[in-house]
Structure 1
Amino acid sequence: MRKKRNIQKMQATKLFVSLILCLSSSLLFSQIKNYNNVDEVFYKKANEFKNEINFRKALYFFNKKNWDSTLVYSMKQLSLSKNQELTNYCHYFRGYSLRELKLLQEARSELNLISKKFILYHLVNYKLGAISLELNEFERAITYFLEAEKAYTSEEKEYKISSLYSNLGTCYLHLNKFKLAEIYLFKSVRIQEKEKDSLPIINSYFNIANLYYLQYKDQQAIPYFEKAYVLSKKVKDFNKKRDASLNMTVVEENRGNYKKALIYRKEYDQWKDSLNNQNKVWAVADFEKKFAVAQKQKQIKVLQIENKLKNAQRNGLFFSAIGLLLILTAGVYLYAQKIKNGKIILLQKNKLDELNATKDQLFSIVSHDLRSSVNALKTSNAKLSATLETKNYDELNQLIIQNSSIANGAYSLLDNLLHWAMLQTKQLYFHKESVHLYSIVQQIEYNYKPLLLDKTLTFENSVSKGIFIFVDLDSLKIVLRNLLDNAIKFSNENGKINFYTEDTNTEFCKLIIEDSGIGMKESTIQELLSEGELLSKKDNSEIIGTGLGLQLCKQMIRKNSGTIAIESELNKGTKMILTFPKTIT
């Protein structure tokens, strides 16, 4: 009997995966639902401070949910104005935006700078509670949520009381204060059932089930898992369907009903595959649409050239009827046009041959890399199936991590290929604006945090916080992502990656990405910087790349009026030196 309870305890620990998923969803529903009251406050302040251009721009981008631009203009307002009221609003904008960008510690720092006299301070408490909950600081989160509960009224429009109760219940559950957790979770679910909002109800059922499961009250927990499963059939959220099926799998395994557990496990796999297939279908459809547009544009150009040739022939016949002199003149003209068109066609043919050669070379290596990735994935999946039968969970975890790494590599290759193709066909739209460089590097660091942790790499963001550059934001992110990905790929474990700036003149900013990796020879650097070299291979046989990412970076840097240089030594690391124009204030 004791052995059975230990097994159940292990299964309950696994169910905390579902609890964490529920927590993320709960936080999502705890966001501000509408801006009726808040909009009214913002509208009044915009009219009151008409001359504060940066504040009005920050407010505009905040309402448009353009978080990067909100951060830029709110920082400009803070640097130029000492008005305490405007300072509170700007810190609120920045805290809200940083949380949306998942920079939680920075968001908390901004919100803590807001005065308690701020008119929207009840929202500040709620936001601080949500941030603390996401950081697993449950005692602190409870303090903030209780303050928000005190300020809550029935006329409150910014968030639902059911979400507040749900978050409080979740905090007490993590602290093993089961009585308090039970009180708040049932308060939440009773309100949610009246509101008939299916997704938060499913989350609450998950939380209540886990509450009882952790106390070994299986008979009370299972009905809520079953309720969540039944309700998940009525929603379109694949994640909820998948989580509900997984929970029922564990429930039936604990009951010893392995036949039913297998049915739920297959259903879980089906929902997981459906989610992946949906994402793939959307990506392929988008690519096919762009390809069709490009083909139509080429057809239009061909028809235009054909029309020009027909017009030239018509003109020749017209002038031949005028007389011998005009015939001679027209003949000379047509001959000259023919020579000119021949030269153009020859130049176009040579360029097309060059592009076709590049395309064939690119497709050959990309298809080889993709084939290698898919073959590795097939081999790993075969091992995964065998390991699943033996229930060797350590090896199973390693295989899942290996599959994820292979899929990420293939996705990165396809993403670079798509952007390179769009750049070659001039389908990428560049819109230059003022960008806060430090904030962008922070975002890139967050996106690659799992890879950095996987190789135990130290990341340091030493970019000056006062630097704004004038570039296209999307292409800048593509460049920094590719260079950071390369730095991680070619760094040894326990290495270091550093982003920092050097202010050499007033017009350009020098950004340096330095790693302590394997480095490269001078000949390799020259090959990478050469305009004619699209593809390259590294000396390390385990690390082979197409060079497409760096070619993409070079072209995007050039379109942003910047430059790139490389300094490197074997086994001593690499420096990627970029320059971008500063924002002219």
Structure 2
Amino acid sequence: MISQNKLAVTFIALLLSNLLFSQQQSHLDAVLKQKAQQYKEQPYFYKAQQFFIAKNWDSTLVYSMKQLALRNNNEIADYCHYFRGFSFKNKGLNEEGRKEFETITKNFRFNYKVSLYLGEIALEEGNYQKAIAYFKEIDKLPQTGHYDFKKGVVYHNIGLSYLHLNNFKDADHYLSEGFSLLQAEKDTVSLIGAYMSIANLYYEQYKDDMAIPYFKKAYDFSKKTNNPQLKMNTALNMAVVAENNKDFTNALIYRKEYENWRDSLNDQNKIWAIADLEKKFMVTQKEKEIDILEAENKLKIAERNGFFYSSVLLLILFGTGIYFYRQKSKTNKIILSQKNELDELNAAKDQLFSIVSHDLRSSVNALKNSNNKLLTSLEKKEYNELDKLLHHNNSIANSSYNLLDNLLHWALMQTKQFYFHKESVHLHSIVQQVAYNYTPLMTDKNIHFENQVPKSIFVFADQSSLKIVLRNLLDNAIKFTREKDHITITATISDDYCTLIVADSGIGIKKEFLEYLNSETDTVSKKGNHEKTGTGLGMQLCRSMIKKNDGQFHIESEENKGTVVRIQLQKVKKNE
């Protein structure tokens, strides 16, 4: 009985410690964004803070470690150690998190957060004296400061630490203080934890009459929340109380409720849980029957007991066999699926590298031959030829740069390191910005360009990836459009979507190659007119980025009649 109570106390201690910063993180996030701008020359620090705010703990650990490998001032080092300590703690690696937090200097701006986290780690590891010391440091902070934590939760955790140490007097004081503060804040989830902790305090002292009302309040309050962990814990406490009061009917109800919540959280074997509960209940019933019928028929009672235990054992064995069989089947399916995906990715990677290396070699060879001609023309002072060759070299360099840039973005997409942040984007301005960079190329080919996107349209998309898509489409349109042709970008809107249309009157795309470009998985290479080359990587990158933005991407083209690319994006509604 007491061991179950202590289990409940330990669980609630961990739960409320995790609520310390659940409500107010905006202040820290704002400061981190300022620091990222202040140290924008440190790319690893910038990425580490972005991934930290996005709660991507693995990437945060990678980039903070890369930053720490460089020469840093104390402030950057403190922030990087804070990122790592918080990430380790959220991944359940308390020992590594504690080492990182203890490395932070006393001049760190958010040093009080470090003390709070060290207190949480000590509480989770059962080092209660150390936890009290850390939490009391927080209690001594000046009242005039602005701190993003709940003091009621801090008092609650101090009280829990004293409760674990069987110091009931101090536990009563701090738990009561914490309860008063949490009640004033009307925080339902924290109040449930406070009710349960006070109940356990009285229960540990065998003051059942005082404890049971608090258990009951915690149970009733948990019905108003969506937190299955609290529902499970309160149901367990009520079951223990009912069992001690010999109220086995209600005890069974609470036990079943507890088991249901536990199974929903931990995916445990439900057959074992129900069988165990039925066993306990039936054993109790059989013991009563034995007391009544013992004098009449001891042999029959022994047979019944033997049959009962055999049935339970068979049920347990059967349930365990089914569970392990399903787990093995599930694991085999996952392994097979991952193997197939890996084979597909390796095939795509090998094909892509083969194509890219071939095109890069061709570009470098063309640049080498052109440079030889350039030297010859320079010696002969043929300035007209020099001008043509320089423009030709520039075209080759731009093509190679675009190929490498697309390859970089493709690699970031494949490794899930490309950061997406969807927001409201003014479509006309984005098109105008991207087109401005291509004005010299369009002027050189005497191409007529029109931005006909209505200025009233806003789309919900990631701005950086949308610019990459537009750059690829404009670059292709200019490359495969003849002199004095035209390029037009327009947009149409429907109820929930906006369709961006990029159209050119260029050489178009052959039917068989168009099928490849509209394919979801193929990466191909092609040679069109005038020996212009491409890998198809740019279009695949565009398709992937538009899909990441919850949009659709489709190409329409006819040879010698131009190309039309349609991009469907989510429209920003007026009320948003």
Q: Give me the TM-score of the superposition, normalised by structure 1.
A: 0.50
Q: Which residue of 1 aligns with 2:10?
A: 20
1:417 is matched with which residue: 316, 320, 333?
333
* Residue 160 in structure 1 maps to residue 76 in structure 2: no
What pairs up with 1:531-570 in 2 under 5 angstroms? none
User: Relative to 1, partners in 2 of residues 1:411 and 1:194: Cα closer, same or farther, differing over 3 Å?
Assistant: farther
Q: Which residue of 2 aligns with 1:221?
A: 211
1:115 is matched with which residue: 94, 100, 105?
105
Q: Which residue of 2 aligns with 1:359?
A: none
* Residue 133 in structure 1 maps to residue 49 in structure 2: no
Q: Give the Cα–Cα distance (whole angstroms) in 2 for the partners of residues 217 and 69 of structure 1.
A: 50
Q: Give the Cα–Cα distance (whole angstroms) in 1 for the partners of residues 41 and 272 of structure 2.
A: 65
For structure 2, the residue ranges without an aligned partner over 5 or more in a row are: 288-309, 350-411, 417-576
Instruction: Determine if contact 2:152/2:178 at 8 Å carries over to the other structure.
Output: yes
Q: Which residue of 2 aligns with 1:170?
A: 160
Q: Deviation per CA, 1:355-412, whole angstroms, max 9, x where unpaired?
A: xxxxxxxxxxxxxxxxxxx9xx9699757744664489xx999x99997897467335
Identity %: 37
Q: Which residue of 1 aligns with 2:561?
A: none
Instruction: Determine if contact 1:62/1:70 at 8 Å carries over to the other structure.
Output: yes
2:136 is matched with which residue: 146, 149, 154?
146
Q: By how many angstroms is 1:192 displaced?
A: 1.8
Q: Which residue of 1 aligns with 2:44?
A: 54
SS of residue in 2 equivalent to 1:30 = coil
Q: By how many angstroms is 1:252 displaced?
A: 1.8
User: Relative to 1, partners in 2 of residues 1:98 and 1:272: Cα closer, same or farther, differing over 3 Å?
Assistant: closer
Q: Deviation per CA, 1:316-352, whole angstroms, max 9, x where unpaired?
A: xxxxxxxxxxxxxxxxxxxxxxxxxxxxxxxxxxxxx
1:265 is matched with which residue: 207, 230, 255?
255
User: Relative to 1, partners in 2 of residues 1:270 and 1:68: Cα closer, same or farther, differing over 3 Å?
Assistant: closer
User: Relative to 1, partners in 2 of residues 1:413 and 1:233: Cα closer, same or farther, differing over 3 Å?
Assistant: same
Q: Which residue of 1 aligns with 2:81?
A: 91
Q: Which residue of 2 aligns with 1:539?
A: none
Q: Give the Cα–Cα distance (whole angstroms) in 2 for the partners of residues 70 and 238 of structure 1.
A: 29
Q: Give the Cα–Cα distance (whole angstroms) in 2 for the partners of residues 206 and 133 of structure 1.
A: 17
For structure 1, the residue ranges without an aligned partner over 5 or more in a row are: 1-10, 281-373, 433-469, 475-585
Amino acid at match of 1:68: D
1:105 is matched with which residue: 95, 110, 129?
95
Q: Give the Cα–Cα distance (whole angstroms) in 2 for the partners of residues 114 and 425 of structure 1.
A: 42
Count, aligned residues: 328
SS of residue in 1 equivalent to 2:41 = coil
Amino acid at match of 2:68: L
Q: Which residue of 1 aligns with 2:114?
A: 124
Instruction: Determine if contact 2:275/2:316 at 8 Å carries over to the other structure.
Output: no
Q: Give the Cα–Cα distance (whole angstroms) in 2 for the partners of residues 127 and 401 of structure 1.
A: 44
Amino acid at match of 1:158: D
User: Relative to 1, partners in 2 of residues 1:96 and 1:426: Cα closer, same or farther, differing over 3 Å?
Assistant: closer
Q: Which residue of 1 aligns with 2:422?
A: none
Q: Give the Cα–Cα distance (whole angstroms) in 2 for the partners of residues 174 and 384 of structure 1.
A: 29
Instruction: Determine if contact 1:169/1:180 at 8 Å carries over to the other structure.
Output: yes
Q: Which residue of 2 aligns with 1:43?
A: 33
Q: Give the Cα–Cα distance (whole angstroms) in 2 for the partners of residues 84 and 178 of structure 1.
A: 43
Amino acid at match of 1:54: Y
Instruction: Determine if contact 2:16/2:153 at 8 Å carries over to the other structure.
Output: yes
Instruction: Determine if contact 1:15/1:210 at 8 Å carries over to the other structure.
Output: yes
SS of residue in 1 equivalent to 2:181 = helix
Instruction: Determine if contact 2:152/2:179 at 8 Å carries over to the other structure.
Output: yes
> Which structure has the larger Rg over C-alpha atoms?
2
1:203 is matched with which residue: 170, 175, 193?
193
Instruction: Determine if contact 1:12/1:210 at 8 Å carries over to the other structure.
Output: no
SS of residue in 1 equivalent to 2:140 = helix
Amino acid at match of 2:327: Y
Q: Deviation per CA, 1:103-128, whole angstroms, max 9, x where unpaired?
A: 10111001111111111111111111
Q: Give the Cα–Cα distance (whole angstroms) in 2 for the partners of residues 411 and 171 of structure 1.
A: 39
Q: Which residue of 2 aligns with 1:563?
A: none
Q: Deviation per CA, 1:472-497, whole angstroms, max 9, x where unpaired?
A: 779xxxxxxxxxxxxxxxxxxxxxxx
Q: By how many angstroms is 1:40 displaced?
A: 3.4
Q: Which residue of 2 aligns with 1:70?
A: 60
Instruction: Determine if contact 2:259/2:273 at 8 Å carries over to the other structure.
Output: no
Q: By how many angstroms is 1:269 displaced?
A: 3.8
SS of residue in 2 equivalent to 1:65 = coil
What pairs up with 1:244-323 in 2 under 5 angstroms? 244-272=234-262
What pairs up with 1:318-333 in 2 under 5 angstroms? none
SS of residue in 2 equivalent to 1:151 = coil
Instruction: Determine if contact 2:271/2:319 at 8 Å carries over to the other structure.
Output: no
Q: By how many angstroms is 1:53 displaced?
A: 1.1
User: Relative to 1, partners in 2 of residues 1:252 and 1:473: Cα closer, same or farther, differing over 3 Å?
Assistant: farther
User: Relative to 1, partners in 2 of residues 1:405 and 1:92: Cα closer, same or farther, differing over 3 Å?
Assistant: farther
User: Relative to 1, partners in 2 of residues 1:22 and 1:273: Cα closer, same or farther, differing over 3 Å?
Assistant: same
1:235 is matched with which residue: 194, 216, 225?
225
Query: Which moves more between the two structures, 147-156 or 137-146?
Result: 147-156
What pairs up with 1:477-556 in 2 under 5 angstroms? none
Q: Deviation per CA, 1:181-217, whole angstroms, max 9, x where unpaired?
A: 1111111222222222222111111111110111111
What pairs up with 1:302-381 in 2 under 5 angstroms? none
Q: Which residue of 2 aligns with 1:81?
A: 71
Instruction: Determine if contact 1:26/1:203 at 8 Å carries over to the other structure.
Output: yes
User: Relative to 1, partners in 2 of residues 1:32 and 1:235: Cα closer, same or farther, differing over 3 Å?
Assistant: closer
SS of residue in 1 equivalent to 2:333 = helix
SS of residue in 2 equivalent to 1:262 = helix
Q: Give the Cα–Cα distance (whole angstroms) in 2 for the partners of residues 429 and 27 of structure 1.
A: 43
Instruction: Determine if contact 1:132/1:141 at 8 Å carries over to the other structure.
Output: yes
Amino acid at match of 1:183: H
Instruction: Determine if contact 1:34/1:157 at 8 Å carries over to the other structure.
Output: no
SS of residue in 2 equivalent to 1:29 = coil
- Over the aligned positions, Cα root-mean-square deviation in angstroms equals 3.9
Q: Deviation per CA, 1:249-283, whole angstroms, max 9, x where unpaired?
A: 2112222333332333343344446667xx79xxx
Q: Give me the TM-score of the superposition, normalised by structure 2.
A: 0.51
Q: Which residue of 2 aligns with 1:186?
A: 176
Q: Give the Cα–Cα distance (whole angstroms) in 2 for the partners of residues 266 and 103 of structure 1.
A: 33
Amino acid at match of 2:81: H
Q: By how many angstroms is 1:237 displaced?
A: 2.3
Q: Give the Cα–Cα distance (whole angstroms) in 1 for the partners of residues 137 and 147 of structure 2.
A: 17
User: Relative to 1, partners in 2 of residues 1:406 and 1:157: Cα closer, same or farther, differing over 3 Å?
Assistant: farther
Q: Deviation per CA, 1:224-264, whole angstroms, max 9, x where unpaired?
A: 01111111222222332222222112112222333332333
